[in-house]
Structure formats: structure tokens, C-alpha cells
Structure 1
């Protein structure tokens, strides 16, 4: 479908009814829902923003793809500016941006006999790239956030050693210790020569190796931002490499002026990733850190938002809409297949991990209840290799003190691709929390990772998600369209965690497809299509059902 405006500054708008149709896809939002029918969003540019700074905006993952339970899929052209609005339970509307260029509104509608068939057809349309797997070794390792507030690399080293010893002492096995950007900078500053070695033409870098850090399995955090108070930025203004940063000319043919923004409370400039020299500089920086720290995993933050549009500046064509995020994903892929990004759009085929948006430490849809809707949203859009938010939630930065919340959160994440921790289990509650953490890490490695690896092969071949909604096995059953607290791993394991505070039972629906389901705890067998009311799920357990042919 192509709608073309007859005059300049005409806004084109097309709406899709939510009456009697459950819709999925689009973008992440704060308080994610599954389906998206309950969401409200004022009409705004359909681009990825940082939900921490823009809580009413659209976040990652985002694709121009909407799927209806009636067997209809809507794919919007990737190259035209687009606005989206959602009126809860009524409709969602696609809208063009008014401009002098008379921009059209362009989309494709696919119709199939059910929702699953529509999705499988749509995937072939919007994901025509060859899919690649990231480094699946990461699936086996829990990620531990190093919580530290120190002012030198030596102190970070010491904190790393202490934290690593604690993980070992509590017999929590091998894992990855995650450093935030500040700790990464402090460690990298212990070797002052790596940043400028390329410009100085030095053939040998003078590095101070960190043998202790190299013995540990760590992940570092980088962003495309650089503080305007740094030596590196001042040098770029002096040596003519100011084009390394996103800039605008001071006049039609004038000198480039870097555009300032804020990142982590500091005034910064942002890497121009269309500039080959800037990309080489950044990759050199990563390579030097690799030699210096020996890390395997790199978290790349800060792709969200459009620096120009946020400041009401007209962006260069190369950076309109979400193009920066796509370019950053290309850069992340060059770093390696153990790279984690915080924003995904048009990049689900790349060998990258995507970190899900941080959640509140509570039982609400912005906390624990948001995990499964967010999981199903990401995997429907092709983002299967997720780093979920830390057990108990990490948005506030505080440690979790609610033991029940920690346990129920742990029980969900044990079945997701990676388990990550912000609150160490030894500071949350009694010994049973530690024992349960050991038990669920072992279960994740023993039962879940082999399943993910099995269905990852299917995803490579077909694009079918690894984690699936209930309607995947029963696509003509309206009961399955709105279930937002259960999920499937492939076609064979149904996971039904408890998401209500104080609950030790829950309702469970077993989808029908001509097969039976067996409770993994007591071996009891049920027919598909059975609704189990108030099914007992004690605090330390998750309801797991295995499909029987």
C-alpha cells in the first residue's frame, strides 16, 4: 500500500483496529504488555529512544512490523520517516511526517490462515539477511555486576579481586564480572598511551599489563561518547580530526562544529561512525583494551536516540531516524561475536547479544511482570540472544531486599538465555537464597542451554523464535492470544512462573495441538487444551510442563 500526499505538509494517517484482534510487535515500552493492545502512546516518531530519559517513548527492540492474531501482518517501509500512536484497546495508527518532500506512507499487508503462518511469512519478508549466531559460550556463564564507587584503576583491581574471591567462596562457579563504563575508564587510564598511539604513529604501545584482571573473565562497557573535557577531544580539535564526532557545518560551506550532548551527566560529543578514521580509532581503542585487560565481552551502550532531532537540528541524511543504531550494530559486529548492545533495530540477524531495558525492583508490569511480555516481544522480532535485566531488577541501582521477589525473578531468568546479577545472592536473605541460586544456575546449564542451542539451529534455518508464545502451538485458539505469563522454549517445554507477590499457586493453560503435557515435578499428564486452576507452585519451584507426542 502506498499513500502519496497531494500537497506539501500533508500528514497521512492509517489506523488498524484492536477490536477483537490481539496485536504484537512494534517497539518496547515501559511496562511492556503482550499483546500491545493495552498500550497508550501519543503520536511520535517511531524511533528508539532511551526509556530512562524518555519514559513515554519507544525503546529497543523496535521493528516496523505488527502482527495480528487474525492472521494479518503489517510491514512498514524501512526508508520513510514514520510516526506511531497507540490508543489503548482501540487502534494503533501509522502516520507520515509533514514535509516539503511530500513523503508517502508505505506499507505491506500479508494475510494468512492464522497468526503463526502470518508471522512465518512476514519473517521471510522483513529479514532477508543471513542470520548468524553470537558466541554461545556466554549462555553458560552467569554475569555478575561489579558494584563499586572508587576513583582509581588500582582500587577497581582490588574490588575485582575481592568480588571474584566471594563468588568462588560461595561456590557459584565460573562467571563473567561486568564493569560499568566508569570502572572500564579507570582501568584503561592505567595505560595512558593506548588512546593516542595511532595518531603518534608509535609502532609499539607501552602497556602496563594487568595479570590479575587477565585471569578473570570480565566484560567491559564502552559508549560512542567522549567527554568534552578530555585530552582526546581537545587534541582532535587541534589536529584536524574534529570530523571524528557528529558535527554540523557552521555555514553552508563552513567549518564543522561538533554537536554537544549529555551522557551520564557530562557534556560529550558522539562518535561519527560514518567516518572511517573515527571507526578505526574506536576499534584500536577496543583492541588496546583487549591487550591490556584480556576481556572477552564488550557492552556497547549509548546508541539510542537521535542526537540531532533531540536538539531540533536537521540531521544529515546518513543519521536520519534510527540509522545510527544500525551503524553501531555494524561496528559492534566488527568488535566480535561476544559483543552486547543495548539497542536493536534492523539488526536481529547479526551475531550480537541485546541487553533488555532495566526494570524496577517490584512486582509491577515495570518490574517482574514485565519480563515475559518483553521476552516474547524481543524474540518475535528476532532478538533471541538476550541479556535480561539482573535478578531483582537494576533500574534504581539499589540492592534488592525483597527475598521473595529475588527468588521468583531468579526462577524466570534461569530459563532465559543468560542469568545476570546486580544484587549478589549472599546479601539478599538467608542461606536458602544462595542454595537456590546455585541450584538454578546448575539447572540453567544442564537443561536450558542445550535447548536454546538446539532451537538456535532452527532459528538460523527458518527464523522461528527460540522462545515462543502459547499461540505458536495452537494458533487458532483465542485463549492463547493474551497469555502474558507463560512461554515456550521451542515446541517442547512450557514454563509458567509465579509473578504475583505472595502466591503459591497460579492458573495455567496448556495449549492444544493434538498432544499431551507432563508436569516435570510430579510426572502427571494432562491433555492439551486443559485449564489448570490454582495449580500449586511453591516458592522455590517453577511450573514446567514437557510436551508428549
Structure 2
């Protein structure tokens, strides 16, 4: 073959054997006439091929049993090797066609000679430039095969397209899942480690455009709603400990003037929620009634509205399914509810509200919160309290846990004077009762806002205090944040700019409260705080006053539009500043508002109760309210006065004292609370009631107070409540989640009072474990938690 390289066109062909009669290339094949087939030899470069040296021929008829094949052949001395079809070497460069290999002169062939001789005598030859051989038509047998091939190609293409869409959907699904959270256009849900849904929330201010969502590690964010409105939305997954998973959620509108609302579903009948706020109608767990449009979540006097939130509140809710939610402090937070769908409506807005955007920021609302899921309700609550609430740094005076407080309010009202106070103290001692302290309540001053005794009512206050001290009484005084316009201190407050002002900031804002019209001290101003506390210190120094009862302090007593020395984005901060006034007098102090005030080491008093049996500020509301405030991080609780306020229009008796049976049942419950207070004295009834009061105050001193003081000491370290729900020691007990008429003191003392009129006995539910009556040494074994029937009167059991 090398010898022929410059002598002739070389054709190399591979074949497919169609007939055994054509196993090799030869003249009979019909490829070329015999006279032009100069030589046939095996192909050196590929097995299964033969090469032939040919001379030009005007026509070309491929052999039917042969198929073309590409083959690279290097011709020595010629151009670089190229790939040509097997029926001829056809250079691709036109210059090569015309110059590289000159054509053989015609007539040079004179006879048959050996290939070697011909190679020396023959000029180079080429197939013509316009050479286009006639290609074989496919046989009819190939058409079905070609159709099948096309169909198979289409099927493969369809499968590839479907896989691409499927892969894209899988990638999207991954972006919309974060650990145990599932996000969709309209909301999200959270599952626990067992795969059970424990939290569900719906977006009510718009739905997400999922195509705008992306994931970056633990952060899943979206940039617009389905209708194209821009926003900033993200969910961040945080695992603070092995047994807790938390999700930080934030929805912020890009433009001002809108409201952001999410609906948090309370779940089915087996899910129970706790927390939020003190309410006028208090239930444990939370019970929704009717529909309530979202309203500012601020401290309020519940007597102003049936739906108002009380004086103690926190943006925190807890579920029996071990989920908890804490709304961020920066949110202009409004809360409503829908009993039909069992949902709390969480809303953020700046219009028609006391909230104000931070200085320098547009009024674009943000709704942000953190949802955490744990292994059980008790452990997740402990985590949330340690993470989000402060703890008291000190413990109130031991006598406040041990002995009852005595108040002049119900017995004497605003008609209190020096003689009545001294006579009240004498009666307490005559009936052989101990006292934590004696509290002089409303209207001992000439006007509201004054800081000294009315000399007409208290002609010798110093002597009165000396006599009370000699009788073993510590005395506290009632104070408030108002200065009425007829007070001698009003002009001073205006001149020194001590009051909350109208929006222009030029004039003090006057408000109406239950004792008239006056201005409100601006506790964001350091001068106002110093002025107020300075007067309280002078009272303490002049009369040896033990402490103070700080009344009012709710945001609802601020004017609707107001300005303060330091701008308040959240008006609840004003309530918190007011509670801080009690810090120097903490040991025997009491306040009735609380917002982020868990570090104030004094007693937090429930709002005044009515002398009724029910859940509307009555006896049945007492345990639910104390449990709710305990879960909000306030361990030192004063459940107001035994028997309620005895206001005739809000009393079952219609008189100036509560109904006798109601009073006794209330006394029995109060004996087991962190603090106990009398205002209607037991001797206003009869000797039997006095004897019952002696029995339960003695029981308190011997059994309850030592445990209360022990738990109070632990609070500063753990933050755990003193008064606890039954599920605290039985988090998996469904029945314990629902009980609102029993409670625990610590983990060992269970209290089950009688709370219904005309009843002399009740069933008691004991969680699993070994229990015994506080009066008996024999334990009562319980398996799985069963009701204990017919324990007489108020029952107490220890574990």
C-alpha cells in the first residue's frame, strides 16, 4: 500500500456480508470494471476492510452488499490525513483539489502491468470536484426500524423533559421545608420529632409567591407576594439545644400604611393553650368566645371593656402539645380572635393605634415572632422562661408569705380616717390574728396627687404610726401615678414638665380616671421619676412607712394621643417604668401592672375581684388567673382581697359584705396562694367564720408558708413558678391539661378547693404517683391518674 500511495486513488471499504457469495472485494462485485481495478490488498489500519487501487471512472455504482465507512489514511508526501467517505479520498480544500495532486494524462495506460510498475508510471488521480455518488435507497425493511427509532427518540426526549420538571419541583420542595417546618403559599405548619403537627399558622395579609423564595443554609426567605407586592419575609431555623427546635419568623411590609396579620390556630379539641394576659373573664386553658377584631395588646383596666386585656400581660403563649410562641418586642402588636376557627389573630400595624414607629423609620409594620417546639409542655415552658423572661433578683419579706395583709379599702373605702385605722388595728389583735402589714388605702390625702395626710382626717398621723408600730404593725400606703388638677402639686408638675403631654408637647394631657380628672406622671423622664420617688422616701422617713401599694399604671389611662420625654414605640414601656418605682420598696410592695417586669421583686396583685362565684372576676376566675400570671413569669402573686370588693351592684349578696358561703370558700383558696389579703374582716360575719379563718391562717403558717419560702428562694435561680398547673408534673396527662380548679404548690402539694355554691365535697384528680392527705400518713397510690372522689371541703394532698 505504501508503494501505491502516490500512484492512484485508493478506495478502502468495509462490508456487510449480505450473501456468502461476496465475501471480498473483487471485479465481479460491480464496483469497477475489471480493467480499472489495479490491486486489492488487506487494509493495514483496520481489520475487516480491503483497499483497492483504481483509476478514474465516470460512474460509480456501490456494491449492494457493501456499506460506506469512514477511514483515516495518511498518504506519504500528500496533505494531512483527513476523514473521507470510503468511496474516495476527497480533499476538503479547493486548493488541494486543483494543485496538490495533478491528474494522470489520458492515454497513458498501455497494458496490464504489476502494481509496482504502474505506481511509477501513472500520474496522481482525483475524483472530480463535483463528484456526488448516487446513494442507495433504503430498503422497505428499514422503514419500520426508522419509525421505531424516531419514536424511541421522542420518548427519551419526553422522559428527559419530565425529569427536569420533577427535579425542579423537588428542589422547590426542599426550599420550602426547614427541618420540621412546611411552608406553603398561605402559611406554615410545624411537626414534632414524632411527625405530629403541633403548630399551624395562616397568612391573612397576603400569600407568598413561592418563585420568589430561596434558601441559604438555615434561612428561607421570600421577596414578594403572589400579587407582586414586595416584602421581606424569612424563616430561620435555630436549634438551641437537642430537645428544642425554634423558628424565627418575620414578615415586613416594604411600604407603610398596611397591616400584617397572621392567624395562629389553636388546633383541635385535644390541644390546649395558656398565657397571654390577665382577662376579665379568665379561663384555664384559654377559651375563645365570639369574634374580636385585633386591638392593641397593651395593659388595660378590665373594668373599662369586657374584651380588654388586663394589667399583667406578656406576648407569650404555650401549648399542651409542647409548642410555644413569643412575639418580638419591636412589633406594634394587636391581638384578636375567632372562636369559629379557633384562632388567635396576630396583627402588626401603625395606623389607628397607640404604637409609633421608631424615630427615623417609616411606618412599615413588621410582624416577627419565634416559635419553639420541645419534647413536652413543661420542658418547653422552662426553656422559654429562661430564654425570654427576667427573674426576680430578691425575695419579698418572709412575713408577706406567712401572715395575711389587712386593707382598709372594703371596710372603710374613701371614708377612712385616723380613728378607723386605729380601731381596725385593735380589732385584728382582739381577734388574735397576725398580720404581714396594715394597708391604708384610698383617700388619706387632701387631694389625689398630694403626698401627705389630710389633717382633717388624720390630725396626728405621726402619733397614729407610733401606736401602730407599738402594736406590732407595719404600715403601707396606697399610691398612684395621677395628679389631679385640684392638687397642690399640679402646678409644680406643669412648671417642671413632669407629666405626659399632648401630641404637640406644649401642654399636659389630662385624663379621666376613677377618682376624677388629672395629669399622668411621665416616668420616661428622669426628673419625674426622681420627683415621685423623692416624695415616697419622705413619707417613709417621716412616718416610718414600710412600703407602698402601687395602684393603676395601665396604658388605658394614658390619653389616646400623647407624647413622652422619651418616645415610646410600645406604650407598655410606660407601665414597666411605673413598676420600677417599686424597686426601692420591694419587700412589702405590691403593683397591679406587669409587662417585662419579672425582675421587680415584689408582689403583683390581680385586678380587683367582684364578690361573685363565676369566671367573670369571681371566685372561679381566681385559679385560672393565678396560673396564667405564673406562666407569664410572675411568681409572687397577690390574688386581691378575700371575698372580693363587695361592691353592691357587682355582688351576689347585694350588701356591703360578700355572701357568707362565698367568703368562706374564697378564704380557703387564698390560704394556699403566695399571699393572702383581708379587707372584709371575718368578724363581720360570726364566730364560726372567725374560727374557720383562724384554722386556715394557722394552716398557712405551718404547712404552706415554709414551702412558699423555699420555692421563693429557688425562683431567683430557676424562674420556675411557685403556683403550678397539674400538668407541670404530668406533662403527658391529657386530663391534667384541662383542670382549672386544682393547682400545685411546687411539685409536692396539690390543692383542690370547693368552688361551687351549695357543695360540701368534690372529686379530686390525682396525677400518677403516690399521694397522701396532708393530715394522714398513709399514702394513696395512683396509677395513670384517676379522680379521687368525695374528699371533704378543701382538700390538700402531698406527693
CA contact (8 A) 1:184 1:220 kept: no
What is residue 218 of structure 1 aligned with on the other side? 475
Residues 258, 312 of structure 1: alpha-carbon distance in 2 compared, 3 angstrom cutoff: closer
Compute the displacement of 1:179 (Å). Answer: 1.4
Question: Cα distance, 1:454 vs. partner?
Answer: 1.2
Structure 2 matches for 1:400-415, cutoff 5 A?
400-415=657-672
Cα distance in 2 between the residues matched to 1:190 and 1:363:
37
Residues 390, 597 of structure 2: 8 Å contact kept:
no
Matches within 5 A, 1:279-318: 279-308=529-558, 310-313=559-562, 317-318=567-568
Matches of 1:43 and 1:373, distance apart in 2: 23
Q: Is 1:262 matched with 2:512?
A: yes
The 1:236–1:407 alpha-carbon spacing in structure 2 relative to 1, beyond 3 Å, is closer
Alpha-carbon distance between aligned partners in 2 of 1:298 and 1:283, rounded to the nearest angstrom: 11
Displacement of 1:185 after TM fit?
Answer: 5.4
How much has 1:190 moved relative to structure 2? 4.3
2:627–2:724 contact (8 Å) kept in structure 1 = yes
Change in Cα spacing, 1:62 to 1:150, as seen in structure 2 (3 Å) is closer
Q: CA deviation at 1:149?
A: 5.2
Counterpart in the other structure of 2:676: 419
Q: Secondary structure of the residue that 2:287 maps to in structure 1? A: helix
Structure 1 length normalisation: TM-score? 0.88
Aligned equivalents of 2:333 and 2:366: distance in 1?
10
* 1:48/1:322 contact within 8 Å kept: yes
**1:480-508, CA deviations, whole angstroms, 9 ceiling, x for partnerless residues?**
11100000111101100011111122222
Q: Distance in 1 between matches of 2:436 and 2:386?
A: 36
**Contact residue 286 and residue 335 of structure 1 kept, 8 A:** no
Aligned to 1:375: 626
Q: Could you report, residue by residue, the CA deviation over 1:303-340 in whole angstroms, capped at 9, with x for unpaired residues?
A: 102455x4345766237320111111222113443221
Alignment map for 1:496-515 (pairs within 5 Å) = 496-512=752-768, 515=769
Partner of 1:199: none
**1:345 counterpart (595, 615, 618):** 595
**Equivalent residues of 1:306, 1:322 under 8 A apart:** no
| Superimposed CA distance per residue, residues 6-48 of structure 1 (whole angstroms, 9 cap, x where no aligned partner) | 3322221112222231000101111210011345544211111
1:494 paired residue number: 750
The 8 Å contact of residues 468 and 489 in structure 1, kept in 2 or not, is answered as yes
Deviation at 1:175, TM superposition (A): 4.1
Distance 1:345 1:322 in 2: 7
The residue correspondences of 1:518-529 to structure 2 (distance < 5 A) are: 518-522=772-776, 523=778, 525-529=780-784
Give the SS at the match of 1:13: strand
The equivalent position to 1:95 in structure 2, one of 339, 347, 362, is: 347
Query: Does the 8 Å CA contact 2:598/2:634 hold for their aligned counterparts?
Result: yes
Find the aligned partners of 1:307 and 1:434 in 2 and give their Cα distance. 39
Q: Which residue of 141, 144, 148 maps to 2:412?
A: 148
Q: Which residue does the alignment assign to 2:688?
A: 432
Aligned with 2:389 (options 116, 127, 130) = 127
Aligned counterpart, 2:379: 117
Q: 1:4 to 1:175 in 2, by over 3 A?
A: closer
The corresponding residue for 1:200 is none
Q: Distance in 2 between matches of 1:136 and 1:543?
A: 25
- 1:2 Cα shift? 0.3
Number of equivalences: 517
- Give the distance between the partners of 2:735 and 2:260, measured in 1 at CA: 35
Deviates more, 1:88-97 or 1:431-440: 88-97
* Structure 1 runs, 4 residues or longer, greater than 6 Å off: none
Partner of 2:426: 165
Residue pair 1:184, 1:221 contacting (<8 A) in 2 also? no
Is 1:50 matched with 2:301? yes
My pick for the range that moved more, 390-399 or 80-89, is 390-399
Q: Cα–Cα, structure 1 residues 257 and 431, in superposed 2: closer, same or farther, change >3 Å? A: same
CA contact (8 A) 1:81 1:321 kept: no
For the structure 1 residues 46 and 96, does the alpha-carbon distance in structure 2 shift closer, same or farther, using more than 3 Å as the test?
A: same
Alpha-carbon distance, 1:293 to partner: 2.5
- From 464, 474, 489, give the equivalent of 2:720: 464
Larger Rg: 2
| Whole-angstrom CA distance in 2 between matches of 1:135 and 1:360 | 28
- What CA deviation, in whole Å up to 9, does each residue of 1:93-131 have, x standing for no partner? 211114552111000011001111110111122125664
Does the aligned pair in 2 maintain the 1:209–1:292 contact within 8 Å?
A: no
Q: Distance in 2 between matches of 1:128 and 1:385?
A: 14
Secondary structure of the 2:756 match is coil
5+ long unaligned stretches in structure 1:
193-206
Q: Which of residues 251, 256, 261 is equivalent to 1:3?
A: 251
2-structure distance, mates of 1:213, 1:534: 47
In the TM superposition, residue 141 of structure 1 has moved relative to its aligned partner by: 2.4
Deviates more, 1:319-328 or 1:435-444: 319-328
SS at match of 2:282: coil
The answer to whether the 8 Å contact 1:135/1:351 transfers is: no
SS in 1 for 2:502: strand
Change in CA separation of 1:209 and 1:432 when aligned onto 2, cut-off 3 Å: closer
1:15 aligns with 2:263: yes
Supply the distance in 2 between the matched residues of 1:412 and 1:167 (Cα, whole angstroms).
21
Whose relative contact order is higher, 1 or 2, with alpha carbons under 8 Å and at least 6 apart?
Answer: 1
Q: CA shift at 1:275, angstroms?
A: 2.0
CA 1:334–1:462 in 2, change beyond 3 Å: closer, same or farther?
Answer: same
